[in-house]
Amino acid sequence: MTPPVIAFVGLGGNLGDAVATLRLAVQALADLPETRLLRASSLYRTPAWGLEQQADFINGAAMLETRLEARPLLEALLAVERDFGRERGAASRWGPRTLDLDLLLYGDAVIGEPGLQVPHPHLHERAFALVPLLEIAPDILIPRQGRAQDALSNLDISAIESLG
């Protein structure tokens, strides 16, 4: 049996009632097999990133304890996205979405496989992911990057609004 690993998932969305969607998505994460939800962050309103001419996003983070290996966990996250109407495709990169679930960290693993990059390759440069992550894990380290708090200190967080 695989020993439990602490994994962190970033949540985001900006279509429909994104707040309600993210709250339901957190429950869906808690219901994943061989997985337990340890913590979920507050939700935050954040400016769009990448493709900026779209509605603000709602973002959050979840801390999971899981016995799923990284690839099956990612596949489960993608299945949850599909359950919420997400259709991934090159045309939608950085575009509007009902739900985005990103595997940010999987223990202290560094994984570089097609379709699976852990830690998330842009985590250290995305305030919308770091702010909720640091709320639930203030001392977290990003493998090969260092302290998440140090990464956040280099970013502008002035437009991020906590929704409580």
- Confidence (pLDDT) at 91: 45
- Res 113: pLDDT: 94
Q: How confident is the model at residue 77 (pLDDT cuts 50, 70, 90)?
A: very high
The model's pLDDT over 14-66, given as tens digits with 9 standing for 90+, comes to 999 999 999 999 999 999 999 999 999 999 999 887 666 778 999 999 999 99
- Mean pLDDT of the region 84-106: 77
Distance CA(86)–CA(109), nearest Å, equals 27
- Above 80 in pLDDT, residue 87? no
Mean pLDDT of the chain: 92
Give the pLDDT band (50/70/90) at residue 96.
confident
Assess whether 102 carries a catalytic annotation: yes
CATH code: domain of residue 49: 3.30.70.560
Q: Which of 56, 71, 88, 102 is catalytic?
A: 102
Q: In whole angstroms, how far apart are CA 134 and each of 79, 151, 159?
A: 26, 11, 17
156 is catalytic: no
CA distance 38 to 18: 22
Q: pTM for the whole thing?
A: 0.93
Residue-number span of the structural domain to which 146 is assigned: 5-162
Catalytically annotated residue among 17, 39, 83, 86: 86
Active-site position among 36, 39, 82, 97 = 97
Pull the structure tokens for residue 49: 């990133």
User: Can you give the pLDDT at residue 88?
Assistant: 66
Confidence at residue 164, expressed as pLDDT on a 0 to 100 scale: 79
Give me the number of domains the chain comprises. 1
Of 39, 93, 100, 144, the catalytic one is 100
